[in-house]
Amino acid sequence: MAQNLGDILGNKTFIIAEIGQNHQGDIETAKKLILVAKECGADCAKFQKTNLTGKFTQAVLNRPYKSVNSFGETYGQHKAFLEFSEDEFRALQAYANEVGIQFTASAMDMKSLEFLVEIGVPFVKIGSGDANNFLLIEEAARKSIPLVISTGMQSFETVKKIYNTVSKYHKDFALLHCISAYPTPSEDINLRVLKLYQEEFPDIAIGYSGHELDIDISSAAVALGSKIIERHITLDKQQKGTDHNCSLEPREFKQLVTNIRNLEKALGQSVKKIQSSEMACYEKLGKTIVYSKHLLKGHSITFGDLDIKVAEPRGIDGSKIDSIYGKILNKNIEKDESLQPTHLL
């Protein structure tokens, strides 16, 4: 195994900019998208690699594709228009290297898997369309290359089968929760599936590949423990193509990255303590123990003698009140005076 997935992902949320086929079949647009992905702060620029006869039957390739999103008369012509050659893929990989962003693609058939392994991508993505393709999954697992596998359009039984299949070879893989609806309605997303995956598959990274319209839900997926976030990126949502409208334009993608990085800081650690940033407020409004009435030297403090107020000078913290009862005063006291340890015998 070249590099393990843990090293590739690092300590922060790993953010994949899915360029997919949003390049409109144009290599210069694809390069622009790689650059924009880098400028937005994504960790990885991802494409889709397809060998048409490896992925589709001839009948599907011949099927008329009459859609506003179609780039050809038949589905085969449409897909061929959007597909880059191996040389073009190598050129894109070299460009990503130059720009300084990781480069990979989803392998949508066996030949594409072979090709991606050959060109040395850091990990291979298996998209939801292949999450039930156990011929491809098993072969990919045998390759000993890290895998990131999306699980849209699958039952939980199939997801467990993916986990068990890859686990026979190694644990260097991640599963992404995904709903393959473009765009995905909120009520279908069920982000709680992330918890289900985390509990069922505790020894691998769990992430989220989103196709919803906004960025909030993908940020929330990070709060729920997603280690990987994948979102489509586009230069312009209004363009022709199935994925553009649920993709993020550069401004939104950048905002998503900012949100995620801020959220990571905010998630912090499960340690409850007073932060130094709270001290200004604590000094101004934090409450301390004061006397609720005039009391004489020798008095034994009892319930009703004390109050908890914002007072000056600050005295003993309000949380300590129970430890004061029964203590004897060594001086006379005025109402509202802050209780100090020096007042007690």
Q: Please, which of residues 238-257 interact with ligand LRY by CB under 6 A?
A: 242-243
Identify whether the C-beta of residue 343 lies closer than 8 Å to the C-beta of residue 329. yes
Give the total residue count for the chain: 345
Alpha carbons 60 and 72: distance in angstroms, whole number: 13
**Min dist. Cβ of residue 82 to ligand LRY (A):** 6
The residue within the footprint of ligand LRY, chosen from 180, 245, 259, 338 (CB under 6 A), is: 180
Instruction: Note the helical H segments in 145-235.
Output: 156-167, 186-189, 193-200, 216-223
Q: Quick one: which of 257, 330, 212, 331 has its CA closest to 13?
A: 257
Using CB under 6 A as the binding rule, the residues of this chain from 181 to 220 that contact ligand LRY are 182
Residue 295 forms beta bridges with which residues? 333
178 binds, among ligand LRY, ligand PEP, none (CB under 5 to 8 A by kind): ligand PEP
Name the segment binding ligand LRY (CB under 6 A); options: 23-31, 121-129, 281-289, 320-328: 121-129
| C-alpha–C-alpha distance, residues 138 and 205, integer Å | 19
Pick 48 or 288: Cβ nearer ligand PEP: 48
**Residue from 128, 154, 226, 288 binding ligand PEP (CB under 6 A):** 128
Residue whose beta carbon is closest to ligand PEP: 127
Binding segment for ligand LRY (CB under 6 A), chosen from 53-61, 125-133, 275-283, 326-334, is 125-133
Q: Which is nearer to ligand LRY, 69 or 338 (CB)?
A: 69
Which secondary-structure segment (H or E) carries 281? helix 279-285
Compute the Cα dihedral for 86, 208, 194, 199 and give only its sign: positive
Distance CA 82, CA 67 (A): 15
Per-position x/- string for 129-158, each x denoting binding to ligand PEP as judged by CB under 6 A, each - no binding: x--------------------x-x------
Smallest gap from Cβ 263 to ligand LRY, in A, equals 24
Peptide bond into 122 cis (omega under 30): no
Task: For the segment 160-199, give every residue that binds ligand PEP (CB under 6 A).
Answer: 176, 178, 180
Return the residue nearest ligand LRY (CB atom): 242
Name the maximum alpha-carbon separation found in the chain.
Answer: 100
Angle of helix 216-223 versus helix 250-267 axis, rounded to 10: 20
Q: Which residues bind ligand PEP (CB under 6 A)?
A: 48, 106, 125, 127-129, 150, 152, 176, 178, 180, 209, 230
Q: Which residues bind ligand LRY (CB under 6 A)?
A: 20-21, 48, 69, 127-129, 180, 182, 242-243
